[in-house]
């Protein structure tokens, strides 16, 4: 049985999905849609067990195939991406944070024009938050829970934008900025590869309080990073 089923595992460990290719040559076996127990929740090291529903068993029986009582072929789950359960599990977290702060500072960089007005940002990080799994990822997805939407680290910032002219500051805008990384996948040393990160970038106007923005992201599964 096992030699006629080719399995690949996609997504992230803990939300992995099995991709099954049936290479049986003859009917009815080549018509069977095999399924895996706990598909969508697989993690590396699991034994992925092949299961057949009752209708499929009846179909096989009617075609002259009787399954052994101990029928339960299984495959070891492997090659799923690893995302940290907690941000503090990322061994090079300080490097990730530093990279985040550098990018954020570039995004909200003060201008320094010789003539005319300039823009100055006054920024305060209110919260650093992390989410292991995408709350909305579908366990039924063919490719599993994509790494791009898991392992997210974000900073929530209170930002005041000033127009500066002739040495005088005038408040132009006030908002909450959300910036960070997605798809923080760990290597064998539990380190994140800083060259392969997605970006999380959002902004809420002054009709949102900092508290309400934090609550919104908590609703998406983010938790404060506590060191």
Query: What residues pair up with 153 in beta bridges, in sequence order?
Result: 130, 181
| 192 domain residue, yes or no | yes
Domain end: 46, 76, 106, which one? 76
Name the helix (H) or strand (E) containing 124. Answer: strand 118-131
- The reply to whether 62 and 99 lie within a common domain is no
Q: Note whether 173 and 92 are same-domain residues.
A: yes
Which residue is listed with tokens 């007005």? 117
The whole-model pTM stands at 0.86
What would the mean pLDDT of 26-53 be, rounded to a whole number?
A: 90
> Residue 186 belongs to what domain range?
87-224
User: How many folded domains does the chain comprise?
Assistant: 2
| 212 shares a domain with 144 | yes
Domain end, chosen from 76, 104, 127, is at 76
Q: What is the pLDDT of residue 1?
A: 64
Which of 45-49, 106-110, 132-136, 145-149 comes out lowest in average pLDDT? 145-149
Helices (H), the chain: 54-62, 93-107, 210-219
Residues 217, 156 contacting (CB under 8 angstroms): yes
Residue 137 has pLDDT above 60, yes or no: no
72 & 125 share domain: no
Q: Are residues 116 and 216 in the same domain?
A: yes
124 lies in the same domain as 212: yes
State mean pLDDT over 178-187: 97
Domain match, 48 and 25 both: yes
Q: Is residue 120 assigned to a domain? A: yes
Q: Could you give the percent of the chain with pLDDT greater than 90?
A: 74
Tell me which of 76, 108, 127 is where a domain ends. 76
**Do the domain assignments include residue 82?**
no
- Based on the fold, state whether residues 183 and 208 are members of the same structural domain: yes
Tell how strand 74-76 and strand 47-51 pair up: antiparallel
């Amino acid at each position: 049985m096992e030699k006629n089923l080719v399995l690949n595992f996609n997504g992230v460990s803990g939300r992995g999905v099995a991709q099954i290719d049936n290479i049986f040559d003859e009917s009815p076996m080549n018509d069977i849609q095999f399924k895996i127990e706990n598909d969508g929740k697989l993690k590396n090291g699991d034994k992925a067990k092949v299961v057949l529903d009752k209708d499929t068993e009846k179909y096989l029986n009617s075609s002259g195939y009787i399954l052994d009582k101990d029928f339960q072929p299984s495959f070891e789950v492997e090659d799923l991406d690893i995302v940290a359960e907690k941000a503090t599990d990322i061994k090079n977290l300080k490097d990730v944070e530093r990279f985040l702060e550098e990018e954020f500072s570039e995004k909200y960089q003060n201008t320094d024009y010789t003539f005319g007005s300039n823009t100055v940002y006054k920024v305060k990080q209110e919260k650093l938050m992390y989410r292991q799994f995408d709350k909305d990822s579908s366990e039924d997805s063919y490719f599993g829970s994509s790494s791009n939407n898991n392992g997210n680290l974000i900073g929530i910032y209170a930002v005041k934008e000033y127009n500066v002219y002739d040495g005088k500051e005038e408040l132009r805008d006030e908002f909450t900025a959300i910036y960070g990384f997605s798809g923080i996948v760990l290597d064998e040393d539990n380190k994140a590869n800083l060259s392969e990160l997605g970006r999380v970038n959002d902004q809420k106007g002054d009709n949102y309080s900092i508290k309400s923005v934090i609550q919104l992201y908590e609703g998406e599964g983010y938790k404060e990073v506590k060191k």
